[in-house]
Homo-oligomer: A and B are copies of this chain.
Amino acid sequence: MEESEFISILTDMLGFAPCNIVYYKHAFMHSSCAGSDLKAEYNNERLEFLGDSVLSTIVSEKLYKMYPDKQEGFLSMLRSKIVQRPTLNALAVKLELERLVIIKSDVVACHSNVYGNAFEALIGAIYLDKGFHACSSFMNDVVFAHYLNIEKLQELELNYKSRLLEWCQKFNLKLEFELVGEEMVNKNDHMFKYKVLVNDVTAGLGNGFSKKEAQQYASHEALNFVRRKPEVFCRKG
């Protein structure tokens, strides 16, 4: 692709003219095309590393301000839904990133996250080229405005309670939910607080306006915990 065409597609996509094109070229260069050269600058993994955090910050701020009355459990679960690979892959397809990504054709099939990863690398490239606020504007004015509906994602049912149950069954662990708080937070709303116990160890807490919601948040926290520290819960196999 001619450089002028690359810049033109990019400018249309981003809503601003990029300055330092090299960052974007790296962002769209998959490691399969770095030849046999393993040097850091020839693929997009470093930019993906950077973009991943920048993206998380912008999403976190967006959710923090969008849901002033929601607890951390809700925000954390919704952020997971936004930054998870299936969401980012779908977003990359909508943005038509495949027009820009350089990858060996036989690699695509076995690297299904190529485009989602390239999206993160693109955020990293914008960050280095134009700074944090340009990333934030791109995400808000382009991505959230046209391609990614947060409210729709919110409805997406990621059943953390089922996943936790499955995880515990796999490793023969006892799973219990315990209601540890319940009260009126205002005239109409009831707040429930649940504790999740895995093999009698507290693995997560969650607050919600229904028992189901509170258990979901508690399960989400517990899943993160048991995956990070399985040794706390598991007997030697």
Contacts and interface: CB of A to CB of B under 8 A. Distances in A.
Interface of A: 36-41, 45-46, 48-50, 52-54, 56-57, 59-61, 64, 68-72, 75-76, 79, 127, 132-133, 166-167, 169-172, 181, 183, 185, 191, 193, 207, 227-228, 230-231, 234, 236-237
Copies in the assembly, this chain: 2
Contacts of A41: 68
B183 A38 contact: yes
Nearest to A70: B40
Given A49-B60, A53-B57, 13 more contacts: A36-B181, A36-B183, A38-B181, A38-B193, A38-B207, A40-B69, A49-B64, A49-B76, A52-B60, A132-B132, A167-B231, A169-B237, A171-B237
Contacts of A69: 39-40
Contacts of A68: 40-41
B64 A50 contact: yes
A230 B71 contact: no
A129 to B, nearest CB: 13
A181 B31 CA distance: 14
A127 B237 CA distance: 46
Given A170-B230, A234-B171, A237-B169, A72 B57 contact: no
A71 B56 contact: no
A191 B38 contact: yes
B230 A39 contact: no
A40 B191 CA distance: 11
Contacts of A166: 231
Contacts of A237: 169-172, 237
A228 to B, nearest CB: 6
Contacts of A72: 40, 45-46, 48-49
A54 B75 CA distance: 15
A39 B185 contact: yes
A68 B46 CA distance: 9
A36 to B, nearest CB: 7
Closest 7 CB pairs of A and B: A45-B72, A227-B227, A172-B237, A53-B56, A53-B57, A53-B60, A132-B132
